[in-house]
């Protein structure tokens, strides 16, 4: 994961950015990330420090420190490992490492444009992100994505404008045909009581029964009182 994050200068759109980890594995995972990330962040002769522009890293770290939904676990000169509590925007991709059933469950509830299970294809780290709302093919871009259909119809049809609107009578007939009522379906009107009608009727009967019982009870006690 760390190698994929810093590969190609860390500028790939599919470099891992957010990692979901089980809470019980959080501590060893963070320790492993810090150990491996320090090799890239320090680098021999400071070569790895050119992964991104220093100013952009500094601005990002300042924003993270002010964000209430993020917690800086460890940081250095314009870099850091951050625990993110809330990240809601759609992700470019998801890498799920788990049993197939668990990975299927995870990827269903992570908002991402594409998901890879138990592998991170290295060739996807190179080049731009996949076009959105398009199926994944052998090539990142298909020929059809660069084509715009512009049909040109040459053969005339029988109901062309000059044929139909050639005279007043034809235009009038076209209008009458357009506004003519649809033919009868010859179906009898439906009288079946549906689900909602049954609920209304049942509720009405219960209410009516309660009202009758209440009136009867009150009337009985009033009659007893009058006789007494």
pLDDT tens-digit readout, 42-58 = 654 444 444 444 545 56
Shared-domain flag, residues 78 and 50: yes
The reply to whether 109 falls in a domain is yes
Residue 138 lies in a domain: no
Q: Which residues contact 134 (CB under 8 A, 6 or more apart)?
A: 142, 145
pLDDT of residue 45: 40
Whether 44 is in a domain gets the answer yes
Asked whether residue 161 is domain-assigned, the answer is no
Percent of the chain with pLDDT over 70: 77
Burial class (CB within 10 angstroms; exposed 0-12, middle 13-18, buried 19+) of 92: middle
**pTM score above 0.75:** no
- Pairwise pLDDT comparison (18 vs 179), residue with the higher score: 179
Mean pLDDT confidence for 26-51: 67
35, 80, 85: which is closest to 60 by C-alpha?
80
Evaluate whether residue 63 is within a structural domain: yes
Q: Is 54 among the domain residues?
A: yes
Which pLDDT score is estimated for 162? Answer: 62
Model confidence over 104-146: pLDDT tens digits? Answer: 888 888 888 888 888 877 777 777 887 777 777 667 777 877 8
Specify whether the CB–CB gap between 98 and 106 falls below 8 A.
Answer: yes
DSSP codes joined into one string, 18-62: -----GGGHHHHHHHHHHHHHHHHH-GGGGGGGSS-HHHHHHHHH
Instruction: Give residue 25's domain range.
Output: 19-84
Going by C-alpha positions, the residue among 102, 112, 8, 2 that lies closest to residue 52 is: 8
**Domain count along the chain:** 2
Q: Is residue 222 part of a domain?
A: no
Q: Is residue 149 part of a domain?
A: no
């Amino acid at each position: 994961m760390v190698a994929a994050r810093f590969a190609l200068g860390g500028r790939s759109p599919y470099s891992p950015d957010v990692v979901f980890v089980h809470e019980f594995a959080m501590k060893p995972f963070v320790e492993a990330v810090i150990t491996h990330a320090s090799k890239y962040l320090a680098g021999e002769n400071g070569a790895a420090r050119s992964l991104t522009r220093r100013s952009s890293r500094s601005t990002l770290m300042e924003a993270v420190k002010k964000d209430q939904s993020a917690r800086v676990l460890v940081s250095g000169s314009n870099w850091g490992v951050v625990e993110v509590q809330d990240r809601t925007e759609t992700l470019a991709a998801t890498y799920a490492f788990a049993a197939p059933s668990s990975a299927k469950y995870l990827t269903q509830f992570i908002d991402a444009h594409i998901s890879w299970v138990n592998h991170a294809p290295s060739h996807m780290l190179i080049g731009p992100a996949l076009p959105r709302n398009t199926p994944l093919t052998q090539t990142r871009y298909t020929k059809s994505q660069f084509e715009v259909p512009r049909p040109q119809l040459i053969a005339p049809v029988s109901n062309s404008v000059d044929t139909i609107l050639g005279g007043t009578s034809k235009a009038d007939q076209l209008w009458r045909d357009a506004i003519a009522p649809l033919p009868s379906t010859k179906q009898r009107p439906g009288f079946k009581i549906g689900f909602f009608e049954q609920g209304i009727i049942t509720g009405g009967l219960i209410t009516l029964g309660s009202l009758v019982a209440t009136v009867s009870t009150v009337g009985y006690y009033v009659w007893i009182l009058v006789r007494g």
